[in-house]
């Protein structure tokens, strides 16, 4: 059973990811991203419940309860962020069309966020992020990976991508199409040609 500390860390990472996905879902009418937010929101709620349960078991005195109150408030705040992200994602699933001003603001402040499935035939499968250099080659940063029922947040150069993984990537509009084709097995790294034009300077 994960500790309260580990659960809080995961809740923090998850709530931040949900906000990114929700804004992207509304801006780009990305229903896949919106559905991902709903999936994460259910898990976030479960983790908050687990923290409350563990805290009740751990509190043996008034002093213990006071110390745990802060942790409970942080967990509640993370869940509130997730609920707000879900409300945004619901707009996309309900067919909401964002106002032009919203699009203008978001295009200035956000990069595109996408979800892609890594197929068996993909060049990404069984390669580490360090070997692939996706940020340099596509302008897309892998911000998390869903592997079955588990998540890898903030993957680093040593993280190996496996067939069947769901990648959550953030970056340029041009890079979006490229990484989708790489994940589908429709494109190889050699097809990218001059990678300099895809370098993300952020």
- pLDDT tens digits, 33-77: 888 899 999 999 999 999 988 888 877 777 777 777 888 899 999
Instruction: Write the DSSP string, the chain.
Output: ---HHHHHHHHHHHHHHHHHHHHHHHHHT-HHHHHHHHHHHHHHHHHHHHHHHHHHHH--SHHHHHHHHHHHHHHHHHHHHHHHHHHHHHHHHTT----HHHHHHHHHH--EEEEEE--TT-TTTTEEHHHH-HHHHHSEEEEEEEETTEEEES--TTPEE-TT-EEEEEE-HHHHHHHHHHHHTS--GGGG--GGGG----
More confident residue, 86 or 174: 86
pTM recorded for the entire structure: 0.67
Mean pLDDT of 4-20: 89
Query: What tens digit of pLDDT does each residue of 140-167 get?
Result: 989 889 898 778 877 889 999 999 999 9
């Amino acid at each position: 059973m994960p500790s309260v500390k580990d659960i809080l860390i995961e809740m923090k990472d998850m709530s931040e990811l949900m906000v990114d996905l929700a804004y992207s879902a509304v801006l780009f009418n990305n229903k896949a991203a919106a559905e991902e937010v709903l999936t994460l929101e259910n898990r976030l709620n479960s983790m908050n419940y687990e923290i409350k349960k563990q805290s009740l078991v751990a509190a043996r005195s008034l002093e213990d309860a006071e110390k745990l109150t802060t942790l409970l408030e942080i967990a509640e705040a993370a869940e509130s962020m997730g609920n707000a992200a879900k409300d945004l994602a619901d707009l996309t699933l309900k067919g909401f069309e964002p106002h032009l001003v919203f699009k203008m603001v978001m295009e200035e402040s956000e990069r595109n966020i996408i979800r892609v499935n890594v197929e068996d035939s993909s060049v990404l499968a069984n390669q580490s992020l360090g070997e692939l250099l996706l940020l340099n080659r596509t302008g897309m940063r892998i911000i998390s990976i869903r592997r079955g029922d588990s998540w890898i947040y903030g993957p680093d150069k040593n993280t190996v991508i496996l067939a069947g993984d769901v990648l959550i990537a953030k970056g340029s509009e041009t890079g979006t199409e490229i990484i989708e084709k790489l994940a589908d097995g429709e494109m190889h790294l050699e097809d990218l040609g001059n990678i300099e034009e895809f370098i993300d300077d952020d």
